[in-house]
């Protein structure tokens, strides 16, 4: 149904809100049909963003990143596009880009170094860090950046959990050395 409405929605005089929802649904459905984002669909999404700077379009791109449907090359293309055309949610894009890079690194059997961990921590990518710690994909030298959070600190429980995971991993690394 959405595939038939989307091409003619401008002629149907829908409100901006309805158009935004239709655009989101159209691209989300196309993305759901694919295992990875292909060049044609990426171009179509970015061209629509040029035409209409909508949060819904950014949402589809962020979803593709979160679902690991974007390659590193495509991530560079998206970053360059948004550097030239502006981005409504830079913080979210940065966090999810770093998280994707970490997940791909883990899939390749590589560990995060201290700088990568610091960037993820600064962007509050705590779930990604937790996954990387549990998967033992954090370099031992990077484990010392995790500290006990202060009472009342934002994301206190997540930070405490990360510290606990880091301490467990550090103990494992030490026992492996023995």
Same domain assignment for residues 48 and 128: no
93 lies in some domain: no
Same domain assignment for residues 35 and 117: no
Segment 117-126 long-range contacts (CB within 8 Å, at least 24 positions apart): 117/142, 117/145, 118/142, 118/145, 121/145, 121/146, 123/91, 123/94, 123/95, 123/98, 124/95, 124/155, 125/95, 125/98, 125/99, 126/155, 126/158, 126/159, 126/162
- In the DSSP assignment, the letter for residue 36 is S
Q: Which two tokens mark 63? A: 């979803």
- Sign of the Cα torsion 48, 49, 50, 52 reads positive
98 lies in some domain: no
pLDDT of residue 88: 66
101 lies in some domain: no
Domain holding 160, by residue range, is: 110-178
Same domain assignment for residues 74 and 18: yes
53 lies in some domain: yes
Which of 88, 122, 139 is the endpoint of a domain? Answer: 88
Its pTM surpasses 0.75: yes
The total domain count for the chain is 2
5 lies in some domain: yes
Same domain assignment for residues 82 and 114: no
Say how far apart CA 141 and CA 136 lie, in whole Å. Answer: 13
Q: What is the pLDDT along the chain (178 residues), one digit of tens a residue?
A: 777 888 887 788 888 899 999 999 999 999 999 999 999 999 999 999 999 888 999 999 999 999 999 999 999 999 999 888 887 678 899 999 999 999 999 999 999 999 999 999 999 999 999 999 999 999 999 999 999 999 999 999 999 999 999 999 999 988 888 7
103 lies in some domain: no
Same domain assignment for residues 60 and 117: no
94 lies in some domain: no
Same domain assignment for residues 23 and 53: yes
Same domain assignment for residues 7 and 75: yes
Residue with tokens 């970490």: 102
Same domain assignment for residues 6 and 84: yes
């Amino acid at each position: 149904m959405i595939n038939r409405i989307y091409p003619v929605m401008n002629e149907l005089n829908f409100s901006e809100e309805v158009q935004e929802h239709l655009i989101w649904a159209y691209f989300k459905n196309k993305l759901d049909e694919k295992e990875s984002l292909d060049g044609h669909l990426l171009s179509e999404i970015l061209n629509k963003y040029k035409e209409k700077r909508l949060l819904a379009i950014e949402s589809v791109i962020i979803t593709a990143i979160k679902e690991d449907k974007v390659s590193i090359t495509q991530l560079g293309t998206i970053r360059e596009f948004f550097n030239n055309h502006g981005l409504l949610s830079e913080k979210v894009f940065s966090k999810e880009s770093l998280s994707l890079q970490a997940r791909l690194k883990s899939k390749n059997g590589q560990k995060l170094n201290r700088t990568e961990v610091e960037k993820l921590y600064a962007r509050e990518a705590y779930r990604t860090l937790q996954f990387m710690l549990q998967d033992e994909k954090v370099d031992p030298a990077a484990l010392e950046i995790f500290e006990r959070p202060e009472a009342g600190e934002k994301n206190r429980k997540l930070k405490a959990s990360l510290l606990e995971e880091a301490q467990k991993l550090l103990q494992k690394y030490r026992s492996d050395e023995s």
